[in-house]
Amino acid sequence: MMKGLSKLIITEFKRFTREFEGLFFTLLFPVILLLVFGSIYGNKPCDYFNGFGFIDVSVPAYMGMIIAIGGLMSIPISVASDREKGILHRLRATPLKPQTIMLAWIIFYFLITLAGSLILVATGKIFYGLRFQGNVFNVFLGFTLCTTSFLTLGFTLASVVRSGRTANVIGMSLFFPMLFFSGAMIPSQGLSTVIKNIGKFIPLTYVVNLMQGLWFGDTWSAHKLDIIVLIAMSIVMGSIAVKIFKWE
C-alpha cells in the first residue's frame, strides 16, 4: 500500500507541475497579491489593526485563500478532468484500493496547500518583517482543520461536476465571492456591517477567523464557533463525498 501510495503522490506532483494554472493560483497568486498590496500599504503597525500591520493581518488571511483555492478549484478541476478523460476509470481498475487513491489525493493537496502557505509566510517575513505571536503547533493544527474542511468540500464538488470546464466555472463562481465576503482579500476591519453579516454564511470566513486568531496568539476557546463550523463541514462534506463520488 505504501509503495502504491507514494507513487500516486509523486505522479500527482509531476502532473501538477505541468499545469501552469494550478501552479499560478496555488503558489504565485497569493504571493503576488501580498507584494502588490504590501507595496501600497506597507506593514507599519497601526491602531486600525490593533498594533499590527497590513501584512501581519493579511498573511494568515491569504493562507485561507490558498486553502480555498485547493478546495474550490484545484481538486474539482483535476478530478473532473481525470474522470472525463477516463483516467479515474483506469485507476479504479488497478489493484490499488479506492481508499488508497483518495488518501494519495488528500496528502498531495494538503502538501501543496502547505507549500503555498510557507512560501507566502517566507515572502511576508523577508520583504515586510512579518510579525507572529501565536504558537506554531496551534497554527499548524488550525491549518490542518481548515484545509481538511475545504478538501472535503472539493471532493464533494468533484463528485457532481461532469467536466473540467464545468468545474472551473463553478469553482470560480464560488471562489471569488467567498474571497471578498470572508475577509480573505480585504481585512475584516475594512468591511461594512452588511458584508460581515453575509460573511457569516460563507465557510471561508471561519477559516480566516481561525487562522488570524491563532496567528496572533488567541486560545482555541476563543474560536469555538469557527471550530464547530469547520469540523461539521469536514464531517458532512466528507460523508457526502464518500457516498456520491463517481469514478466514471
Q: pLDDT for 4-28, tens place per residue? A: 778 888 888 887 777 777 778 788 8
pLDDT for position 1: 59
Least confident of 36-50, 85-99, 167-181: 85-99
Task: Extract the C-alpha cell encoding 230.
Answer: 469547520
SS3 220: helix
Distance CA 141, CA 143 (A): 5
User: What are the CA-CA distances from residue 44 to residues 54, 56, 61, 137, 217 (Å)?
Assistant: 7, 9, 18, 27, 20
Structure pTM? 0.93
Nearest one of 151, 153, 149 to 209, comparing CA atoms: 149
User: Could you tell me where the beta strands, DSSP code E, fall in the chain?
Assistant: none
Residue 34 has pLDDT above 80, yes or no: yes
Q: Which residues contact 184 (CB under 8 A, 6 or more apart)?
A: 61, 62, 64, 65, 68, 178, 204, 207, 208
Question: Quick one: pLDDT band at residue 191, thresholds 50, 70, 90?
Answer: confident
Distance CA 163, CA 171 (A): 12
| Residues shown for the chain | 248
Q: pLDDT tens across 123-175, in order?
A: 999 999 999 999 999 999 999 999 999 999 999 999 888 888 898 899 999 99
Q: What's the rounded mean pLDDT across residues 227-244?
A: 94
CB 149 within 8 A of CB 237: yes
Residue appearing with cell numbers 463528485: 159
Q: pLDDT tens across 55-73, in order?
A: 999 999 999 999 999 999 8
Question: Quick one: pLDDT band at residue 245, thresholds 50, 70, 90?
Answer: confident
Greatest pairwise CA separation for the chain in angstroms:
59
Residue 194 has pLDDT above 90, yes or no: yes
